[in-house]
Structure 1
Amino acid sequence: MRQQAKVVIGPGMFDKTYFQAGNYNDYKEIALVWTGRVARRIKRTSGKKHPQVLDVGCAHGYLMVALQGEGCQVKGLEYSRYVMKKAERAVRKTIEEGSVLDDKFPPNEFDVVVCLNVLEYIPEGQVEKALRNLVRWTGDLIFFTTCFKHSRYASQKHSPDNLRITIKTEKEWIDLFQRVGAAYKEMFYDGGGGDVLVFRKKYDQAHTR
């Protein structure tokens, strides 16, 4: 039996064609439904007046704009050069080019690290490294979601995206975060059709540099 070739995902694949296809046709309209709600939850959960927040895979920066509106200090990390150029003007200069797999930031650099719908594009063998970076960069909280297995958004029929390669259940992600130093705190509905998992960095990890 012929084996299916592995898809090697590079930044050039997240180009104009990608962002104008599939479920990205009405991306901004949908984003405006949930970003305000998620931003308020992040601010409230942080317990800080002006938390420092990193948005990993920030794309157009819609959540970053909402976070700024809540008084957060924001920075974005984005893999796609194309979408960086299209990002919202209010946050464009605060977005750095890079991947969740890169060693971009010092330990405990941010109060909150947000990673929404990114790790489905990371090969299975590199998932743990990505999670370790999220845990290393945050000093406290991680807000995380992805296309969870068995959800509507993992279906190519409902949410077409041929670049998704890693799909797991919520429990599998919780177990993986636990393994790399972050404990599950809670889950909430984002208002746009998905669940967001919240993790808290373990005490021994937060005090290790």
Structure 2
Amino acid sequence: MKDKYDDEDLQRLYDKTYFSTRSRPPMWIRRAEFMHEKFHPKTVLDVGCAYGELVKALVDMGIEAYGVDGSEYAINNSDSSIRSKLFKVNLNSDKFPFNDKTFDVVGSFYSVEHIHDINFFAKELQRILKDDGIAWFLTPNEGLEQRNETDVFTNTFEEWKKIFEERGFKVAKFSPHEMMALRGKLGKFKFYLLPKSIQNIIKKVAYDYSNRKMKDASFILTKN
């Protein structure tokens, strides 16, 4: 495994085969709704945006949203209506094509584990994030033994916390359980008819249970 991937490596690894199971529009629509409900952003950047499905969902809601990804294939196969909002960026070495302090929210969903140069990435994140902005990360909660050709920088939450705190961020665990829908597999129990406060307790229990298998780390970064 290389220390750092160049553009040729990125296009080889993140091709049609890699993205063949990545398209799940309903999930991204719900995630966009949740981000709007929870953070009320005016500007959002999706890091590792793939086909830009989250960007499209946010734009359709009237939010100014953009995406960056290293894969030409993914961006070239995005919805034409938002393709101008997606940019091919090597997250290890390319300056993000945005002005300083542009974004209220930066989302990174199962992408930070693909980045080799965390120093460079953290500096760019500090630069583009507003002083009162937040960055939300979802990433596998795994350590060194799970690294491979694409998941090159997997860590546990405790390791990510140390990494980003050393680079000038505050780091806090964040449970996205409120994003869960109670009309899917749990629909037969009609939990969605209960008061919202009770629904959120049920969602928290369901999320924690399912995350035993998923082993995801979810955390928020803010500037010091």
Residues 146 and 154, structure 2, Cα contact 8 Å, conserved in 1: no
Read off the aligned partner of 1:55 and give its amino acid letter: D
Q: Does the C-alpha gap of structure 1 residues 17 and 132 become closer, same or farther in structure 2, counting only changes over 3 Å?
A: closer
Shift of 1:33: 4.2
TM-score (norm 1): 0.74
Q: 2:142 aligns with which of 149, 157, 161?
A: 149
Residues 187 and 198, structure 1, Cα contact 8 Å, conserved in 2: no
For residue 103 of structure 1, what is the aligned residue in structure 2?
95
TM-score (norm 2): 0.69
Structure holding more helix per residue: 2
State the identity %: 21
Read off the aligned partner of 1:138 and give its amino acid letter: L
Name the Cα RMSD after superposition: 2.8
For residues 58-106 of structure 1, give each alpha carbon's deviation from its aligned partner in whole angstroms, at most 9, with x where no partner exists.
Answer: 1110111121233210111121222211112221011122133422233
Q: Does the C-alpha gap of structure 1 residues 201 and 41 become closer, same or farther in structure 2, counting only changes over 3 Å?
A: farther
Q: Does the C-alpha gap of structure 1 residues 88 and 155 become closer, same or farther in structure 2, counting only changes over 3 Å?
A: farther
CA radius of gyration, larger in: 2
| Stretches of structure 2 lacking an aligned partner (at least 5 in a row) | 181-209
- How is 1:1-209 mapped onto 2 (pairs within 5 angstroms)? 6=2, 8-15=4-11, 18-21=14-17, 24-28=19-23, 31-48=24-41, 51-101=42-92, 102-104=94-96, 105-123=98-116, 126-139=117-130, 140-149=133-142, 162-185=149-172, 186-189=174-177, 194-202=216-224
Count matched residues.
Answer: 184
Q: Does the C-alpha gap of structure 1 residues 17 and 149 become closer, same or farther in structure 2, counting only changes over 3 Å?
A: closer
Three-state SS of the structure 2 residue aligned to 1:130 is: helix
| Stretches of structure 1 lacking an aligned partner (at least 5 in a row) | 203-209
**Which is further off, 93-102 or 82-91?**
93-102
